[in-house]
């Protein structure tokens, strides 16, 4: 029964919000059979983003990433369902949209790795951390 309650964190990044594709992304997760259990639009501060992306702080693209993610509102969502972490990652497509297959969110809606419109947790553990940290919702 616990696997039916698996949760993941999905965030529509500033470019996805600005382009008005929030509804399309939500529709895809709903059509797949997942349940939206939390959603919040927020303007992420640089401090919050620096904490969230701390593991990338030494990468050359870090300042650009922080600037991009703080450039506009983000839609933070919590989705629930069987295998939602793994399936959600498949639905998103590859980090680099040029390597994403048609039918995936990135494959259908973006072309640039630096503006790849969406984030999804890569494990149940990171989902729990991201849900708690970025939405204020309790961990499961």
Binding annotation for ATP: 13, 61, 89, 95, 106, 116
Distance CA 109, CA 114 (A): 13
Distance CA 26, CA 34 (A): 10
Strand ranges of the sheet holding 7-12, from the earlier edge strand across to the other edge: 35-42, 74-80, 7-12, 118-120
Q: Which structure tokens are listed for 134?
A: 């970025």
Distance CA 66, CA 14 (A): 11
| Binding region | 13, 61, 89, 95, 106, 116
Name the active-site residue from 119, 120, 130, 131: 119
For this structure, is 52 an active site residue? no
CB atoms within 10 A of CB 123: 12
Q: Which residues are catalytic?
A: 119
């Amino acid at each position: 029964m616990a696997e039916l309650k698996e949760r993941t964190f999905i965030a529509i990044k500033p470019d996805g919000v600005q382009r008005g594709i929030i509804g399309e992304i939500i529709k895809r997760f709903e059509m797949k059979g997942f349940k939206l259990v939390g959603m919040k639009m927020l303007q992420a501060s640089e401090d919050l983003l620096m904490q969230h992306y701390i593991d990338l702080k030494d990468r050359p693209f870090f300042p650009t990433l922080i600037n991009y993610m703080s450039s506009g509102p983000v839609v933070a969502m919590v989705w629930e369902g069987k295998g939602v972490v793994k399936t959600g990652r498949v639905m998103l497509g590859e980090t680099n949209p040029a390597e994403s297959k048609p039918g995936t969110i990135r494959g259908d809606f973006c072309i640039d790795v630096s503006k790849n419109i969406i984030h999804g947790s890569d494990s149940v553990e990171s989902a729990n951390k991201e849900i708690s940290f970025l939405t204020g919702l309790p961990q499961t």
